Chain A
Amino acid sequence: MINTSEIDNSIESAAQNIAHHDESDNRMFGFIIFLLSESVVFLGFFIGYYVYKTNAVDWLPAGVSGLEIREPAINTVILVSSSFVIYIAERCLRQQNLWGFRFFWLLTMLMGSYFLYGQIIEWQGLKFGFTSGLFGGTFYLLTGFHGLHVLTGVLLQSLMLIRSFIPGNYDKGEFGVEATSLFWHFVDVIWIILFLLLYVWQ
């Protein structure tokens, strides 16, 4: 009696493992599709920006000579390096080093938050608004839409951080952590393109 139920249990847990694993793979597959699809929204905005910029008669609003590049460059370095930090955090989790994971994960969050802070500071110092012609419109739309993604990333990260305190929760790896990390890299790549378009190409 005991023997068979034990065997049943072990088979069942093995089966559950397979099922869990499979489902998590499905979710990753689905999430990657989602990111590919999402990137087309950005692509649309980028193309719009390109068309406006190359065709506009009065691109810059009156009294604006261009964008200050120094602060955003620092911001960029921070955001881009956070992609490496989140990678270290993920590796820690894979090695079952939960505290290492939490440390680097939190560091990523701080870097992301600093980026957002820097963005807000930059916005406050600008002499043009959302409705200041095509330049103002596209600038705030692109940075704002990207900023929304950074914010989403930070919120997802804090959720994953909290969930790491549930005992045994991340023992078998965690889809949420992997997905958040992938999302973060995605947001980063988008920012690099955005930075080149908005600040470098003036």
Chain B
Amino acid sequence: MTNISIPEIDIDTNRSHEPEDWRRFFGFSTDHKVIGIQYIVTAFFFFLVGGVFAMIIRGELLTPESDLVDRTVYNAMFTMHGTVMLFLWTFPVLAGLANYLVPLMIGARDMAFPRLNAIAFWMIPIFGIVLIGSFLVPGGPAQSGWWSYPPVSLQNPSGNLINGQFLWLLAIVLSGISSILGAINIVTTIFRMRAPGMTWFRMPVFVWAVLSAQIIQLFGLPALTAGAVLLLCDLVAGTSFYDPAKGGDPVLFQHFFWFYSHPAVYVIILPVFGIFSELFPVYARKPLFGYKVVAVSSLIITGLSAVVWVHHMFASGTPGWMRMLFMFTTMLISVPTGIKVFAWVGTIWGGKLRLDTPMLFAMGGLVMFVFSGITGIMLAAVPVDIHVNNTYFVVGHFHYVIYGATVMGIYAALYHWFPKMTGRMYNEGLGKLHFALTFLGTNLNFFPMHPLGLQGMPRRVASYDPEFAFWNVIASLGGFLLGMSTLPFLVNIVGSWVQGKKVSANPWRAIGLEWLIASPPPHENFEELPIVVAEPYGYGMNEPLVSNADKL
């Protein structure tokens, strides 16, 4: 053990000059915990920005006519809403959680490449500014949807070389580089920085899920990059890769795009599965049901995610055999997902439930995830998809995934680890209010989209036939409620961070390496590296997790 504990002393003295107060959050810190919080806070800012765009969209859709904003503005709004929410909110906030939690959970003192980590983070505000800055160029921001399908994305009415679409592509490429750097860092950390005794099947499921998600980034993002480079050449240099007028093939872009962007959904949802798997055992006081199967099912999802992308293109001029093939692969992905859902129910069942805010969010998220999974299977069935593809049914489905399951899961994680990150407890009453408003708002906002889609209302429309007005008004009211629901959260987090009740190392009586050390954890996390001797969810078993708990 001595040869392991010595280099840390050395590193400690090297790095102790970094400021330890609030200022460290505004500098080029290489501490994974600081970077994690930087990610989360930056991402939340962009969440609010994307939310404002969503409010404008819902405001326009209150009435059937296009009467609130100009159609070009509306189109820019849904383009930017999707782009900001994916690339500046969900990816970064989950990268932040992974950054904060993975080293703690596997018993490492930091990520494998701390400086690379900081660089990857600081690219986020940079491309965020590029993207939001595109509102200022003549012609406005990109208006071709976050898919940016050519030829629409190649049309350039302003005639400028530096236009919204160009800046959009630039931001996406920067985002891709940032994500690749992050993915390399996280994968290397998980493979090579685990504490003694932390074997693969002693890793918390969150770590498994993050690993699976980041592997997707590594093989998926480069494909998107290749497709985006071709689009950029068409847009800037006048090549004809996607221009049908000059012999190009616009459908090829769709393949490039969805080869990444469908798996991207798993990049988002897998860590949330991880969060569910961490939280249910804590608040049900029972071991995770079928831990090994749940862990491995994440990797199975990673594998399957590479062979389902065409289901986004069932109506795009796809031959019949391809439609059938990808319908079967898509159906298959519900098997490992189903395993997880049943395992969570098995974990909760028969436990001693505590309905603290994190548990409420996690259970609410689970319910909405099950709903979205069922609509997902409907969408996978080609005949049904031919009808509802590109309608509000799809919009409803993926907002249940992305808001109902993902955002709820992220909130659950933020409440759950808030005491660990800050050393203080949040306000439970405000937390429950936040949950109630979010749960109600989400369902009011996104459920009406399903009947709208079944009735045949296409997505991305600024105006619609009056017959759709009823459900749209309800959805808009739900949307505004959802916007308001962030207020108690903000008040709670800011207030509690400043003057919340101080907490011990482990206020939830949770099992996990991160709960064995102080709240907030010290600079290099562990005095002595933990020696792990047990599986991660030993609730009710009275067995120690590590053999050197008092020396950490």
The answer to whether B3 touches A18, judged by C-beta atoms less than 8 angstroms apart, is: yes
Question: Is A25 among interface residues, defined by CB-CB distance under 8 A?
Answer: yes
Stretch at the interface among A38-46, A91-99, A110-118: A38-46
The answer to whether B7 touches A19, judged by C-beta atoms less than 8 angstroms apart, is: yes
Tell me the nearest residue of chain B to A137, going by C-beta: B239
Chain A residues with CB below 8 A from B371, complex form? none
Chain A residues with CB below 8 A from B187, complex form? 30, 33
A150 to B248, CA, bound (A): 29
The answer to whether A41 touches B247, judged by C-beta atoms less than 8 angstroms apart, is: no
A193 → B minimal CB distance (Å): 15
- Interface residues in A1-39 (C-beta closer than 8 Å to B): 11-12, 14-16, 18-19, 22, 25-27, 29-30, 33-34, 36-39
The answer to whether A40 touches B219, judged by C-beta atoms less than 8 angstroms apart, is: yes
The answer to whether A26 touches B112, judged by C-beta atoms less than 8 angstroms apart, is: yes
A56 to B252, CA, bound (A): 13
Chain A residues with CB below 8 A from B188, complex form? 26, 29-30, 33
The answer to whether B230 touches A34, judged by C-beta atoms less than 8 angstroms apart, is: no
Chain B residues with CB below 8 A from A41, complex form? 222-223, 225-226, 229
Chain A residues with CB below 8 A from B524, complex form? none
Query: Which listed residue (A18, A26, A134) contacts B7, Cβ 8 A?
Result: A18
Chain B residues bordering chain A, tally (CB within 8 A): 39
Contact with A along B240-266 (1 / 0, CB 8 A): 110000111100100010000000000
Question: Is A58 among interface residues, defined by CB-CB distance under 8 A?
Answer: yes
Question: Is B237 among interface residues, defined by CB-CB distance under 8 A?
Answer: yes
B45 → A minimal CB distance (Å): 29
- Interface residues in A121-159 (C-beta closer than 8 Å to B): 130-131, 133-134, 136-138, 141, 145
- Interface residues in B94-130 (C-beta closer than 8 Å to A): 112-113
Q: What number of residue pairs across chains A and B have CB atoms under 8 A from each other? A: 112
A85 → B minimal CB distance (Å): 29
Q: Taking chain B's interface residues, is the majority helix, strand, or loop, or is none over half, making it mixed?
A: helix
Question: Is B136 among interface residues, defined by CB-CB distance under 8 A?
Answer: no
A26 to B186, CA, bound (A): 11
Given known A44-B222, A137-B240, contact A33–B184 (CB-CB < 8 A) = yes
A14 to B187, CA, bound (A): 27
Q: How large is the interface on A (under 10, 10 to 19, 20 to 34, 35 or more residues)?
A: 35 or more
Query: Which listed residue (B3, B183, B225, B226) contacts A48, Cβ 8 A?
Result: B226
Chain A residues with CB below 8 A from B249, complex form? 51-52, 55
Query: Which listed residue (B3, B113, B191, B223) contacts A15, Cβ 8 A?
Result: B3
Given known A30-B112, A30-B113, A131-B239, contact A44–B3 (CB-CB < 8 A) = no
A45 to B222, CA, bound (A): 10
A29 to B239, CA, bound (A): 37
Chain B residues with CB below 8 A from A39, complex form? 222
Q: Measuring CB to CB, which residues of chain B are less than 8 angstroms from any residue of chain A?
A: 2-3, 6-7, 10-11, 112-113, 180, 183-185, 187-188, 191-193, 218-219, 221-223, 225-227, 229-230, 233, 237-241, 246-249, 252, 256
The answer to whether A133 touches B240, judged by C-beta atoms less than 8 angstroms apart, is: yes
The answer to whether B192 touches A26, judged by C-beta atoms less than 8 angstroms apart, is: yes
Question: Is A196 among interface residues, defined by CB-CB distance under 8 A?
Answer: no
Question: Is A57 among interface residues, defined by CB-CB distance under 8 A?
Answer: yes
Query: Which listed residue (A15, A51, A131) contacts B252, Cβ 8 A?
Result: A51
B172 → A minimal CB distance (Å): 14
Q: Measuring CB to CB, which residues of chain A are less than 8 angstroms from any residue of chain B?
A: 11-12, 14-16, 18-19, 22, 25-27, 29-30, 33-34, 36-41, 43-45, 48, 51-52, 55-58, 130-131, 133-134, 136-138, 141, 145
A19 to B11, CA, bound (A): 10
The answer to whether B239 touches A37, judged by C-beta atoms less than 8 angstroms apart, is: no
Tell me the nearest residue of chain B to A145, going by C-beta: B229
Tell me the nearest residue of chain B to A14, going by C-beta: B3
The answer to whether A44 touches B233, judged by C-beta atoms less than 8 angstroms apart, is: no
The answer to whether A34 touches B247, judged by C-beta atoms less than 8 angstroms apart, is: no
Tell me the nearest residue of chain B to A131, going by C-beta: B238
A137 to B2, CA, bound (A): 60
The answer to whether B180 touches A34, judged by C-beta atoms less than 8 angstroms apart, is: yes
A27 to B221, CA, bound (A): 21
Chain B residues with CB below 8 A from A29, complex form? 112, 188, 191-192
A43 to B226, CA, bound (A): 9
The answer to whether B184 touches A44, judged by C-beta atoms less than 8 angstroms apart, is: no
Query: Which listed residue (B113, B222, B247) contacts A56, Cβ 8 A?
Result: B247
The answer to whether B10 touches A37, judged by C-beta atoms less than 8 angstroms apart, is: no
A15 to B180, CA, bound (A): 31
A–B Cβ pairs within 8 angstroms, 12 of them: A18-B3, A29-B188, A29-B191, A29-B192, A43-B222, A44-B222, A51-B252, A55-B249, A131-B239, A137-B240, A137-B241, A141-B233
A149 → B minimal CB distance (Å): 14
A186 → B minimal CB distance (Å): 14
Chain B residues with CB below 8 A from A130, complex form? 233, 237, 239
Chain A residues with CB below 8 A from B241, complex form? 48, 52, 134, 137-138
Tell me the nearest residue of chain A to B112, going by C-beta: A26
The answer to whether B219 touches A37, judged by C-beta atoms less than 8 angstroms apart, is: yes
Tell me the nearest residue of chain A to B185, going by C-beta: A30
Query: Which listed residue (A14, A15, A30, A131) contacts B184, Cβ 8 A?
Result: A30
Chain B residues with CB below 8 A from A16, complex form? 7, 10
